[in-house]
């Protein structure tokens, strides 16, 4: 492990996960630079650069003198449209990051991947890193993240850059601007009185500070000869539970009633397919899909949870904050901001 202060560049450093990555490395004493689009600076001790990672020339320029890149930038879009836009950023942008590492001899590259890389719409129970990549196309997000991760891991051994990929699943916590807000928006509109399917399938969740701890530990371990270099790792809380049980715990903590009814999977999936169809013929958009894509519906009704033993074995990481505590911390932050049942 290396604790020497380094120049760390974070792509996509202004979103929920990105801000926490930035704070984690800056608080640890590293010099941090953020590359993102239309980002408002949130720390005086961090450099912020307005840049699209699809601009390879500019990316190569701003990464000169960098020791490590945490490549977090991507478009999260699970509807089956807007393929070109998603691939341009998620895959094309990653190839640009790799090229910048090669040209500027950057020592370390941590790619923020996704557990969806191995998901095929079927049950995964305590899956480990020996699982193959998904062999079917489900959504441009998953497809592009798979190819991007492949490119990053294939880069191992081609230059002096040490690389690894981390695969989180459903990251949540204070300041989340996607997952928890979608839940609360639906609850406030009275649209979370029913769950989809039965509570017999387990899903993994990842509290944000646990994920940040894993990123920092993996980056620190990326030295020549380390078992981490060239590897992918699942990073979750390791406490799988039914998706709607998690949702209900959040809602009850905030004072909402429990979920009472149930919608059959086939009906929810059909509704999502119709919504995707009309969205596509209108030209599509890359706004959050609010959990109604076919990909998201499948996620809710299948087992998909993973072992985190490899991360502990290779770089000593284990989650410190339990799922129950993470939910309480998230809800406490929401209450502090004035969130109350409508």
Reading the block at residue 320, the tokens are 């410190």
| C-beta contacts of 251-257 below 8 A and 24+ residues apart | 251/183, 251/187, 251/192, 253/327, 253/328, 253/331, 254/184, 254/187, 254/331, 254/334, 254/335, 254/339, 254/340, 254/341, 255/340, 255/341, 256/187, 256/192, 256/341, 257/193
* Count of the separate structural domains present in the chain: 1
Q: 111 phi and psi, to 5 degrees? A: -100, 125
* Per-residue confidence band for 214, with pLDDT thresholds at 50, 70 and 90: very high
Check residue 286 and give its pLDDT: 53
Does residue 187 surpass a pLDDT of 80?
no
Q: 304, 167 in Cβ contact below 8 A?
A: no
What are the tens digits of pLDDT across the range 126-156? 999 999 999 988 788 889 999 999 999 999 9
* Per-residue confidence band for 341, with pLDDT thresholds at 50, 70 and 90: low
Q: How much is the mean pLDDT over the chain?
A: 87
Structural domain includes residue 314: yes
Residue 191 CA to residue 183 CA, distance in Å, equals 9
Answer yes or no: 141 catalytic.
yes
CATH number at residue 150: 3.40.50.720
- For range 4-31, the mean pLDDT: 97
Q: 56, 94 in Cβ contact below 8 A?
A: no
Structural domain includes residue 1: no
Reading the block at residue 125, the tokens are 């129970």
What are the tens digits of pLDDT across the range 40-77? 999 999 999 999 999 999 999 999 999 999 999 998 76
Structural domain includes residue 277: no
Check residue 337 and give its pLDDT: 79
H or E element, residue 332: helix 323-336
Domain enclosing residue 169, as ranges: 7-176+204-238+304-322
- For range 207-225, the mean pLDDT: 97
Structural domain includes residue 157: yes
Check residue 2 and give its pLDDT: 60
* Per-residue confidence band for 338, with pLDDT thresholds at 50, 70 and 90: confident
What are the tens digits of pLDDT across the range 291-319? 466 656 666 778 989 999 999 999 999 99
Residue from 119, 141, 299, 305 carrying the catalytic annotation:
141
Q: Burial, 203: exposed, middle or buried (Cβ in 10 Å; 0-12, 13-18, 19+)?
A: buried
What are the tens digits of pLDDT across the range 232-272? 999 999 999 998 899 899 988 888 888 776 654 544 545 55
Residue 68 CA to residue 115 CA, distance in Å, equals 23
Structural domain includes residue 143: yes
Structural domain includes residue 283: no
Does residue 289 surpass a pLDDT of 90?
no
Structural domain includes residue 209: yes
Check residue 30 and report its DSSP letter.
-
Check residue 234 and give its pLDDT: 98
What are the tens digits of pLDDT across the range 159-172? 899 999 999 999 99
Structural domain includes residue 261: no
Least confident of 43-52, 132-141, 197-206, 331-340: 331-340
Residue 117 CA to residue 205 CA, distance in Å, equals 16
What are the tens digits of pLDDT across the range 69-124? 999 999 876 555 578 888 899 999 999 999 999 999 999 999 999 998 999 889 99
Check residue 298 and give its pLDDT: 67
Check residue 327 and give its pLDDT: 94
Q: 179, 172 in Cβ contact below 8 A?
A: yes
């Amino acid at each position: 492990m290396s604790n020497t202060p380094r120049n760390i560049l974070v792509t996509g450093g202004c979103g929920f996960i990105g801000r926490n990555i930035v704070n984690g490395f800056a608080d640890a004493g590293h010099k941090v630079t953020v590359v993102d689009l239309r980002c408002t600076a949130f720390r005086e001790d961090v450099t912020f650069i307005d840049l699209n990672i699809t601009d390879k020339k500019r990316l190569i320029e701003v990464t000169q003198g960098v020791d490590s890149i945490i490549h977090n930038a991507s478009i999260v879009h699970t509807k089956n449209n807007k393929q070109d836009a998603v691939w341009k950023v998620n895959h094309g942008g990653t190839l640009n990051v790799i090229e910048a590492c090669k040209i500027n001899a950057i020592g370390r590259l941590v790619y923020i991947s996704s557990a969806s890389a191995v998901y095929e719409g079927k049950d995964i129970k305590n899956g480990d890193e020996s699982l193959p990549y998904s062999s079917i196309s489900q959504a441009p997000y998953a497809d592009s993240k798979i190819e991007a991760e492949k490119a990053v891991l294939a880069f191992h051994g081609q230059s002096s850059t040490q690389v690894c990929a981390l695969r989180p699943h459903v990251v949540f916590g204070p300041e989340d601007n996607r997952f928890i807000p979608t839940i609360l928006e639906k609850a406030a509109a009275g649209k979370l009185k029913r769950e989809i399917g039965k509570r017999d399938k387990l899903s993994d969740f990842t509290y944000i500070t646990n994920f940040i701890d894993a990123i920092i530990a993996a980056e620190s371990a990326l030295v020549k000869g380390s078992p981490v270099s060239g590897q992918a790792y699942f990073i979750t809380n390791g406490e799988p539970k039914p998706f709607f049980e998690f949702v209900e715990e959040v809602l009850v903590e905030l004072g909402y009633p429990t979920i009472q009814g149930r919608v059959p999977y086939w009906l929810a999936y059909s509704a999502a397919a119709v919504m995707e169809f009309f969205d596509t013929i209108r030209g599509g958009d890359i706004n959050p899909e609010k959990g109604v894509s076919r990909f998201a519906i499948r996620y809710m009704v299948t087992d998909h949870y993973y072992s985190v033993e490899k991360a502990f074995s290779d770089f000593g990481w284990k989650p410190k904050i339990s799922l129950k505590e993470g939910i309480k911390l998230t809800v406490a932050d929401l209450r502090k901001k004035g969130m109350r049942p409508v």
